[in-house]
Structure 1
């Protein structure tokens, strides 16, 4: 039987992996797509651990590659549930890379994956609530609420039918574009 509430600590997961030449791009750095794949795997593990169900990725929010990851570095990913809705969870992920010869650690990425729990029939399934045990956990929960509001506003704006091109043409003068209609 599922618990009605779980602590953030109950679903925390960390993974570490040595970055190999086979993971590199043409520039000799670890391929961003490979990093995203690892992030998706840890988001799945964290969300599944919290929900006790199979989970799917609904969205990925704010992926900023802050520092390149080098071949031979040890990448550590840390994840936790930052927010829960009825059937969805926001998994916060922090990516760090360590030069194993010097011990220097750099923050390479932070991201937020929205995961949805699924039952055996593939339908969205309710997830346990979240027990927030520190001010940092409360801050992360509130920040997730704000990101959700921003995301909803972007969708409303994107899907709006009352967009009038002429209202925005003057703004385009600030960009390096040429309009040739």
Structure 2
């Protein structure tokens, strides 16, 4: 399978923060931003794999600065590393005060998506090629994030086994 550059999957999405997007402090709801992040990452994964995808994990969403009503948010996402059937997507969110032009890095996130075949089974994805310094840095540090995901998944399984919740409904 032929490798693709991170640039080929890069997706940029901008939105205006409306009153319905904000909390009582006049800043964007975290859940609204999370939905934007998941959407732009899914588009990015589909661009890379040219397949339907599902979200396998969201490592973290680090909220770095608030976004006020009337500001814009611009999400930029690209594939930062790949496995056999999975893709790690890096998303950064930049807010802009449209009156002054001031831009602020607002949030960052790593998500993992799995590509699916016609029957809904995981299917192979192309490798990714890092070209920019940022892309190379993220690719070089991807293995450590993969190990942290595996450890977190193991801990979650242990935790779930201790819960007294029916496993089937």
Give the alignment's TM-score, normalised by structure 2.
0.88
What residue number does 1:5 align with?
A: 3
> 1:136, CA displacement in angstroms?
3.0
- Structure 1 residue runs without a partner (length 5+): 162-181
SS in 2 for 1:125: coil
Runs of 4+ in 1 over 3 A off after TM superposition: 154-161
Indicate how the Cα distance of structure 1 residues 13 and 151 shifts in structure 2: closer, same or farther if over 3 A, else same.
same
User: Distance between the aligned counterparts of 1:64 and 1:132, measured in 2?
Assistant: 23
SS in 2 for 1:64: strand
What residue number does 1:19 align with?
A: 17
> 1:159, CA displacement in angstroms?
4.8
Which of the pair has more CA radius of gyration? 1
What residue number does 1:80 align with?
A: 78
Indicate how the Cα distance of structure 1 residues 41 and 154 shifts in structure 2: closer, same or farther if over 3 A, else same.
closer
2:48 corresponds to which of 47, 50, 72: 50
- Structure 2 residue runs without a partner (length 5+): 160-169
SS in 2 for 1:67: coil
* 8 Å contact kept, 2:80–2:130: no
User: Distance between the aligned counterparts of 1:160 and 1:114, measured in 2?
Assistant: 21
What residue number does 1:41 align with?
A: 39
2:100 corresponds to which of 99, 102, 125: 102
> 1:138, CA displacement in angstroms?
2.3
1:1-181 paired onto structure 2 within 5 Å: 4-157=2-155, 159=157
Cα RMSD over matched residues?
1.6
* Number of equivalenced pairs: 159
Give the alignment's TM-score, normalised by structure 1.
0.82
Moved more, 69-78 or 124-133: 124-133
What residue number does 1:165 align with?
A: none
What residue number does 2:165 align with?
A: none
